[in-house]
Structure 1
Amino acid sequence: MRTSTLRAYFIIALLMLAPLSGFGADLTIEQQTAKSQGIVLYNQFKAISATPLLKIAADAGDPDAQYYLAEAIRKNKKYMTAEALGAYEASALQGNIYSMIRLAGDKNDLCVAMGNCPKGRKEPEAWGKMALDTASLEAAKGNAEAMYLMYRVTGDDKWLEKSAEKGFAFAQYFLGIRYRGGHGFFLLPSSRAEAVEHLMKAAAEGGYPQGMLEYGAILAEKKDLQGFRLWNEKAAETGYATAVFGYGSYLGEEHSEFGFPYDPVRSYALLHLLLELDGGGGMPDYVNFALPDISAQMTVEQIEKAKKLSQEWKVSHPPLSFFPDKL
């Protein structure tokens, strides 16, 4: 996919409601923009900055924004606040299965422990049943994401396998990780390795950036360095912060063992871009450690060119993201 179209596809994806997010009220352009920007910040581990933007769309009744708002508040406060609980409940009552699963896992709430929750409030078991019923209904329609959520609700590996078979990229990646970690039964180690490679290839081709890096690593082990370089670049083009750092670092090596061309200007541009990730994740620390060695080999003119290229990349590519698991 050409990089000039990647950002457009990303924006379109954010503007569309996910099938399992419920059916909230239509948002105005301003509310939709706030939601999109809020999710971008949340995925950059900037929960505090994301909160007021997500609240705009959440207050308008958008179930996906309500879920992300609740996540941002809960992660920032390190516990389930009343505001986060209310946002989860509003989202879940509109059909958001992710919110139902969060509420089903909220068993440490004091009123739950004491059995004296306010009248009308659903307890975790009730939310768990609602999540199961809703996900089951969607899974029966062939929804691959719902099949993955059935796995999260039931813990039954068959649902993870079904989701992967139906093409849900995250399920393919996650199942590959589980197989590599020893789950599943395989007669031969080679059969396990083949299954992992098949799943990571599918996840990569399905657009999941962590799958791209995993598949690239498998190709590198097989001495397919061209494939390794290809998937590292593709992962970086999605905006995946880890991949941007890795790809940028490779380009800054004068003698790359993986065959990346030496391009200090492009290397500096990509690493410099990552400095905006000053929330969680510690990315600036990695960049500030690597950047001096690269800049030491560059002229002042090259550094200025790199900074300009950094801004051009930002405009033509999806926003930077750590792509955290939604659950």
Structure 2
Amino acid sequence: MKKLATFIITALSAFSLSAFAALNTEQNLAKEKGLILYNQLKITSALPYLEEASKAGDQDSQYYLGESLRKRNRYMTTAAQKWYEAAATQGNLYAMIQLGRSGNDLCVEMKNCPVSEVKPTDWLLKASLLAEPKAQQGDSEAMYLMYEATLDRNWLEKSAESGNSTAQFWMAISTRQGEGFVLPWKRKESVAHWFKASAEGGNPRAMMEYAAYLHESGGDLEVARRWIKTAAERGYESGVTSYGAYLAHTPERFGFELDLVKGYAITSLLKELDEGGSMQSYVEEVLPEIAEKMTPTQILDAEKFADQWKKSHPPLSFFPDKLGR
């Protein structure tokens, strides 16, 4: 217990100072590049960039490097644990929670989990001890992390009610799955409420879910179209895919006005996601279908529009959960 208390005091100091490693320009660019690639599910490509910033002591990069290594191997490896622990000793609660979850990792069944001086349950306890004071003070992110560390749904609800868009998204998902006490005839309404709140908080995944709800429930399609467009403008892969397809009427949904130039241009942006699942086969199928309806001049205009879009919008992203499973 004395060892645990010592760790907590040290970690609390680090947590209050955040990441104490100052990156130089080159290291900061490497971090940014690594995070872009990570969010595009280009895990292997992201590794050298995240490693450069991690070796410089940046705790966010250390955490995402741990995530990348774990996801690439699909279980907790020695290398992944090393970087999670590096981030955790700087007070990174996300890293502590992932280390805490390693007690249920695939490596347990494989009987090859990395050796650690700290038990998974102790990592979760440490995360809780650090997060709870901030949560009690009204910090909505800390409330959400308390939920992740304890699986107490009350914390999820408190975080959502305090405006955390991630918690609001998962409140919608869990409510849709039948969790929580909600009157049966009020459940869909509750799901929509939380998706809408999360969308308004900037969560592009919730934007697409809320747009789908409006479409399915016969709601305001103008509002639905606006959320799809906003999700695309944020760079969310699903938003870009849907916005491009619906503008080009491949298929026609949500009542978007036909715009072949924009539809082709936005769909062509997806070529960049060449490591993110089956995206290339989708692009190779849909782009020619749109091009058949276009003139050569329109295709040139679309290429110019796509170039302008890339310069004025965030990079494409799948927006994976920060606390990935």
TM-score (structure 2 length as normaliser): 0.88
**Corresponding position of 1:160:** 156
The question of 1:236 aligning with 2:232 is answered yes
CA distance in 2, matches of 1:89, 1:101: 11
**Corresponding position of 1:72:** 68
1:50-199 aligned at under 5 Å gives the runs 50-107=46-103, 117=115, 121-189=117-185, 191-199=186-194
1:2-35 deviation per Cα after TM superposition (whole angstroms, max 9, x unaligned): xxxxxxxxxxxxxxxxx89942311112211111
The question of 1:34 aligning with 2:30 is answered yes
By relative contact order (CA 8 Å, sep 6+), the higher-ranking structure is 1
For 1:251, which of 247, 265, 277 is the aligned residue? Answer: 247
**Corresponding position of 2:257:** 261
**Corresponding position of 2:203:** 208
Taking structure 1 as reference, are residues 272 and 113 closer, same or farther at Cα in structure 2, changes over 3 Å only? closer
Counterpart AA for 1:237: E
- Give the drift of 1:81: 2.5
CA distance in 1, matches of 2:288, 2:30: 36
- Give the drift of 1:194: 2.1
**Corresponding position of 1:6:** none
Indicate the SS of the match to 1:106. helix
Q: Cα RMSD over matched residues?
A: 2.2
1:224-277 deviation per Cα after TM superposition (whole angstroms, max 9, x unaligned): 111111111011110000110001000011883422111111111111110110
1:48-97 deviation per Cα after TM superposition (whole angstroms, max 9, x unaligned): 11111111111111111000011111212333232211110010010111
Identical aligned pairs, as a percentage?
47
Indicate the SS of the match to 2:91. coil
CA distance in 2, matches of 1:33, 1:154: 35
Moved more, 251-260 or 219-228: 251-260
Q: Check the 8 A contact 1:21/1:97 in 2, yes or no.
A: no
Q: Check the 8 A contact 1:240/1:322 in 2, yes or no.
A: yes
For 1:297, which of 275, 293, 299 is the aligned residue? Answer: 293
CA distance in 1, matches of 2:183, 2:79: 51
1:40-51 aligned at under 5 Å gives the runs 40-51=36-47
Taking structure 1 as reference, are residues 223 and 59 closer, same or farther at Cα in structure 2, changes over 3 Å only? same
Taking structure 1 as reference, are residues 117 and 277 closer, same or farther at Cα in structure 2, changes over 3 Å only? closer
**Corresponding position of 2:312:** 316
CA distance in 2, matches of 1:89, 1:280: 28
For 1:307, which of 298, 303, 319 is the aligned residue? Answer: 303
Query: Where does structure 2 lack aligned partners over 5 or more consecutive residues?
Result: 1-14
Q: Check the 8 A contact 1:151/1:158 in 2, yes or no.
A: yes
**Corresponding position of 2:8:** none
Moved more, 131-140 or 155-164: 131-140
Taking structure 1 as reference, are residues 246 and 212 closer, same or farther at Cα in structure 2, changes over 3 Å only? same
Taking structure 1 as reference, are residues 226 and 35 closer, same or farther at Cα in structure 2, changes over 3 Å only? same
CA distance in 2, matches of 1:86, 1:211: 33
Query: Where does structure 1 lack aligned partners over 5 or more consecutive residues?
Result: 1-18
**Corresponding position of 2:19:** 23
Counterpart AA for 1:159: W
**Corresponding position of 1:3:** none
The number of residue pairs the alignment matches comes to: 305
- Give the drift of 1:149: 1.1
